[in-house]
């Protein structure tokens, strides 16, 4: 099922309350490439639905791939950045492995659920295209095609550079993207889900000329009365060559690409999905 995350005002908040491993952002953290953006907050209206049905399903399937690509390379007390952490499903798995985790997301409501799941983690309300953190992280992870929500190459490059400057020397970046096969195969048609107290309809379309996938999501929720929310989500299809060139331009090396299905993600979630690995020297 294609999913979604877009905008509001960009807040640059670099620590949130107490929580283990909190740090203050120093005044100088090296050369950072920030693009002024509206903070990506499209998931706010239906964060409850994502938290209940989508995030856990994806990460239960992706965990095996992440163990191979990331967990196996990290010491137990590693500091890890969970970029576009959503409602904290991956954050919780990382914390359970003993890592010191910082989650970053543009949706205030998604972070509310994440804080409930992982109260000892640090969370930052910020956009992947426009943040700066000191170079203290041993790894950065970004999952569930989060970076496809960045719709232009300059903004994707800005996100890569922001991650690069947040990593310590030798640190690595692992993320997944929906590729052309996914958009052409699965991003089409309508998908209704009817339950006793919730109804959702997703309508997907892919424009191969513009390389843009669009999902219109309608969710009804029964509380005292039925409540309705409408969300439109856009994703950009990047080629492997574009992603590689962006990573190289940002300073990364040792770039590798893995087919998600070959890593064990055998359902439609893995179809047309690629994992990227890149390291900071």
- Measured N-to-C along each axis, helices 108-117 and 89-96 cross at an angle, to the nearest 10 degrees, of 30
Residue 31 lies in a domain: no
Question: Tokens 């953290």 identify what position?
Answer: 29
Please return the burial class of 28, using the count of CB atoms within 10 Å of its CB with bins 0-12, 13-18 and 19+: exposed
Residue 52 backbone dihedrals phi, psi, to 5 degrees: -75, -40
Nearest by Cα to 163 from 240, 236, 249: 249
pLDDT by residue for the chain (281 residues), tens only, comes to 343 333 332 323 333 333 334 443 333 334 445 556 677 777 887 788 888 878 788 888 999 999 999 999 999 899 999 999 999 999 999 999 999 999 999 999 999 999 999 999 999 999 999 999 999 999 999 999 999 999 999 999 999 999 999 999 999 999 999 999 999 999 999 999 998 888 999 999 999 999 999 999 999 989 889 989 898 999 999 999 999 999 999 999 999 999 999 999 988 999 999 999 999 99
Residue 35 lies in a domain: no
Sheet with 137-142: strands ordered across:
122-125, 100-105, 79-83, 137-142, 167-178, 273-279, 253-259
Residue 129 lies in a domain: yes
Could you tell me the CATH number of the domain that includes residue 186? 2.20.25.110
Total Cβ atoms within 10 A of residue 218 = 15
Q: Are residues 175 and 186 in the same domain?
A: no
The DSSP letter of residue 25 is P
pLDDT of the residue at 18:
34
Residue 7 lies in a domain: no
Residue 36 lies in a domain: no
Q: Are residues 268 and 213 in the same domain?
A: no
Please return the burial class of 145, using the count of CB atoms within 10 Å of its CB with bins 0-12, 13-18 and 19+: buried
Q: Are residues 135 and 58 in the same domain?
A: yes
Find the farthest-apart pair of alpha carbons in the chain and give their distance in angstroms, rounded: 56
Residue 196 backbone dihedrals phi, psi, to 5 degrees: -65, -40
The DSSP letter of residue 52 is I
Q: Are residues 167 and 249 in the same domain?
A: yes
pLDDT of the residue at 60:
87
E-strand stretches of 179-267? 189-194, 198-207, 212-222, 226-236, 253-259
Instruction: Evaluate whether 9 touches 38 at the Cβ level (below 8 Å).
Output: yes
Beta-carbon-side half-sphere exposure of residue 35 (alpha carbons within 13 Å) = 18
Number of domains in the chain: 2
Residue 15 lies in a domain: no
Residue 192: which domain range?
182-233
pLDDT of the residue at 34:
55
Cut 0.75: pTM above it:
yes
Q: Are residues 62 and 126 in the same domain?
A: yes
Q: Are residues 222 and 104 in the same domain?
A: no
Q: Are residues 87 and 144 in the same domain?
A: yes
Q: Are strands 137-142 and 167-178 parallel, antiparallel or unpaired?
A: parallel
Q: Are residues 192 and 253 in the same domain?
A: no
């Amino acid at each position: 099922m294609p999913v979604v995350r877009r905008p509001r005002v960009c807040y640059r908040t670099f620590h949130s309350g107490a929580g283990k491993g909190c740090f203050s952002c120093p005044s100088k953290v090296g050369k950072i490439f920030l693009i002024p953006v509206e903070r990506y907050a499209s998931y706010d209206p239906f964060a409850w639905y994502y938290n209940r049905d989508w995030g856990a399903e994806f990460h239960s399937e992706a965990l095996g791939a992440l163990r191979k690509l990331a967990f196996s390379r990290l010491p137990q007390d590693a500091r890890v950045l969970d970029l576009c952490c959503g409602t904290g499903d991956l954050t919780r798995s990382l914390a359970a492995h003993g890592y010191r985790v910082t989650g970053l997301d543009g949706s205030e409501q998604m972070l509310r659920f994440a804080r409930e799941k992982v109260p000892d983690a640090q969370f930052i309300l910020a956009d992947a295209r426009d943040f700066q953190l000191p170079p203290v992280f041993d790894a950065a992870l970004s999952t569930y095609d989060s970076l496809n929500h960045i719709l232009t190459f300059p903004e994707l490059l800005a996100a890569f550079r922001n991650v690069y400057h947040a990593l310590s020397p030798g640190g690595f970046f692992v993320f997944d993207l929906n590729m052309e096969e996914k958009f052409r195969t699965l991003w089409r048609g309508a998908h209704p889900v009817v339950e006793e107290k919730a109804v959702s309809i997703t309508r997907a379309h892919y424009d191969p000329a513009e390389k843009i996938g669009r999902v219109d999501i309608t969710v009804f929720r029964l509380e005292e009365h039925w409540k309705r929310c409408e969300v439109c989500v856009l994703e950009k299809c990047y080629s492997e060559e574009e992603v590689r060139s962006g990573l190289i331009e940002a300073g990364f090396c040792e770039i590798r690409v893995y087919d998600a299905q070959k890593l064990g993600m055998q359902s439609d979630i893995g179809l047309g999905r690629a994992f990227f690995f890149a390291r900071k020297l």
